[in-house]
Amino acid sequence: MPLSVKKGAFLIIFLDGEWLIVLEVKNLNKTYPNGKERIQALKNINLKVEKGEIYGIIGLSGAGKSTLIRTLNLLEPPDSGTVEIDGKNIVKFKEKELREIRREIGMIFQNFNLLSSLTVYENVELPLKIAKKKDRKDRVMDLLKLVGLEEKAESYPSQLSGGQKQRVGIARALANNPKILLCDEPTSALDPVTTKSILNLLKEINQKFSLTTVIITHDMGVIKNLCHKVAVISGGELVEKGEVFEVFTNPQSDATKELLLEDPFVEQKELYVSNGVKYLNLQFKGEEATQPIISRGLRKVQGVELNILKGSIEDINSKKFGRLLVELKGEEGLQGQFLEYLKENEVMVEVL
């Protein structure tokens, strides 16, 4: 059972002796010099990541994603605000304390950041050598087995594919048994097939070790397939955050809607205008996406006709999300009855 402990004005929550909130950012600000002025890269960022979560941060280029993730391990020190790991504000840490806490934070990079002069084995071993760990061989080989590269131990980065290089990067990031894994656009340099395999590996690692993971990306597919929660960043601000399914199926901010426009379901709405015919954009969430709601409605409200123009169903964080573009014909009163039936069955209806 969770145990709550008062500390000053804050309520701190533990579960089996561990913090539930592994990473918390409060009122974080970051600026960069630009001549005589300063550019605001991050504005009052507030974020909580719970133990075992995969938390995605998504935004367009220049939104502040990379700056944010680099402040989480203080590679970029913030101007103000706090970064707390297990309730400790690491912004106040001295250099020695920072070196120690960074061993608890693994990081995966967009361009792999492998040392070309070292073998796969030596790249993975490097963090262990820096930490002066003993019995490194077993640990390195266990990690290479985990990422499926046991046979590549003596190979050099130049002999590897992009996906294999990222697997080495993942193994290296896990070397010191981190509490938190930071992923900076880990699939942006990879093809779609390799991207899928890397996402599956990250998901497997999360499930096996309950490893708290923060991933930044510009790719909605990465968020939908991997993350539990998401924050949308725009102009250095977090403009929307929450459960992935809710944010993507019911977006509130303009920035989120802009991201979703990359894959519009209904294009050129002005085309769907006709006397006596209603064009409907229907959304089905969760169980409703797998139920015969339309056929039941047509049996209940006889006298209307429905023609399906377009449809799709997808998994978002293991939940179904279905969409239909349809035309509805019939008398005005019967059309109204059918629309009311859809709403009673929790179908989101947009009349175009």
pLDDT at 3 over 70: no
Q: How far is CA 334 from CA 92, 107, 228, 292, 330, in A?
A: 66, 58, 41, 20, 6
Q: Residue 344 belongs to a domain with what CATH number? A: 3.30.70.260
Residue type, 30: K
Q: What is the largest distance, in Å, between two alpha-carbon atoms of the chain?
A: 79
Asked if residue 238 and residue 330 are part of one domain, the reply reads: no
Asked if residue 320 and residue 193 are part of one domain, the reply reads: no
Structure tokens at 37: 């002025």
Question: Mean pLDDT over all residues of the chain?
Answer: 87
Query: What range defines the domain where residue 322 resides?
Result: 272-351
pLDDT tens digits, 171-224: 999 999 999 999 999 998 889 999 999 999 999 999 999 999 999 998 888 998
Structure tokens at 35: 């001549």
DSSP string, 236-254: TEEEEEEEHHHHHHS--SH
For residue 279, the model assigns a pLDDT of: 85
Q: Which of 260, 294, 321 is the C-terminal boundary of a domain?
A: 260
Q: How far apart are CA 202 and CA 306, in angstroms?
A: 43
pLDDT at 305 over 70: yes
Q: Domain for residue 10, yes or no?
A: no
Mean pLDDT of 266-274: 58
Q: Domain for residue 248, yes or no?
A: yes
Total structural domains within the chain: 2
Q: How far apart are CA 276 and CA 278, in angstroms?
A: 7
Structure tokens at 102: 């960074």
Geometric angle at alpha carbon 90, from 88 and 95, rounded to 5°: 135
Q: Residue 196 belongs to a domain with what CATH number? A: 3.40.50.300
Helix (H) / strand (E) element for 101: namely helix 95-102
Q: Domain for residue 209, yes or no?
A: yes
Q: How far apart are CA 230 and CA 92, in angstroms?
A: 27
Q: Would you give the DSSP letter of residue 151?
A: G
For residue 288, the model assigns a pLDDT of: 82
Percent of the chain with pLDDT over 90: 54
Asked if residue 176 and residue 38 are part of one domain, the reply reads: yes
Q: Which of 59-73, 113-127, 249-263 has the highest mean pLDDT?
A: 113-127
